[in-house]
Chain A
Amino acid sequence: MKSLEELRKIKERALERRQLSGEGAQARVVVAMGTCGIAAGARDTMSAILRHLEEKDITDVVVTQTGCLGLCEYEPIVQVQVSDADMVTYGKIDSARARTLIDKHVVGREPVADWQIKRG
């Protein structure tokens, strides 16, 4: 285990960042991690999203997972919600698309129409 001292310093920096940026997340990203999602590569999608946020030093995005959404043929599925806007569901989001999605929808606030799952 790396040192707990290092972790304490990380905590201090994180608390400072949180004070600067104000409380509350600006966006929510949800990756579907059911059996179907995992088989389609959702773990790599999730890893790419986390890495990308780390590299861009974006700290006000909450990333979580959910189970199967019943749209298995579209996996890996990622949902994005920015501020109070409706949640948008995207299909076939591999690692490369995931990074673009973060840039365009989370940072740029522009949904990516081509990758949205159209229902009905």
Chain B
Amino acid sequence: MTAFRDLSQHILDIAENGTKAGATLLHITITEDLDADRLTITLRDNGSGMDAEMVRRVTDPWVTTRTTRKVGLGIPFLKQTAEMCGGHFAIQSQLGQGTTTEAAFQHSHIDRPPLGDLIGTLICIVVGYPALDLLYQHQVDGREFTLDTREIREVLGADVPLSDPEVLGFLRGTLVEGLRDIQA
């Protein structure tokens, strides 16, 4: 049984779906609006997308494209959690057009899981999927932090990968600083 402790585990799970669908760019947006008491997480990928029937079925626990095991539970659990926490859940997708997944929550809801180890999730995405670029935008009450691996790759050139240990240290430092600075 799926037992994710935090929302950033769901983000990693959906990123994995996107890379399986051949995505080369993943755009993650996290918006925390404390006045409106709202937390919204959006993941948009440019992978192969899904038709309407598949979109309907991925929110059903008994459907998956995977052949190794028949049950995919990440998405249904996120949907259930969002709806349980005064929010909503939606997937928009079209074949050849990529997929957008959005989950919203009442920010202060007692049952809302924490965002958790966001930096761990982002580092896993950057290192684990070498062919994927990540655009990460996180807003807290209008203060925004952005990380775009395309900009970093441009500086590094073709011979130094994002997974180089010293580059990873730089990325981690950038994330720690950036996420701290947007907190109230």
Contacts and interface: CB of A to CB of B under 8 A. Distances in A.
Interface in A1-54: 1-2, 4, 6-8, 10-11, 13-15, 18, 31, 33-36, 38-39, 43-44, 46-47, 50, 53-54
Label chain B's interface by main secondary structure: helix
A4 B128 contact: no
Given A59-B165, A68-B66, A15 B124 contact: no
Interface stretch (B30-38, B44-52, B91-99, B150-158): B150-158
A43 B174 contact: no
Contact of A54 (B69, B159, B168, B178): B168
Contacts of B128: 31, 33, 46, 63-65
Contacts of B173: 2
A4 B12 contact: no
Label chain A's interface by main secondary structure: helix
B147 A43 contact: no
A70 B178 CA distance: 38
Given A1-B174, A35-B73, A65-B128, 10 more contacts: A7-B152, A10-B160, A11-B160, A13-B166, A38-B4, A39-B3, A43-B12, A46-B120, A59-B164, A67-B66
Interface of A: 1-2, 4, 6-8, 10-11, 13-15, 18, 31, 33-36, 38-39, 43-44, 46-47, 50, 53-54, 57-59, 62-65, 67-70, 72
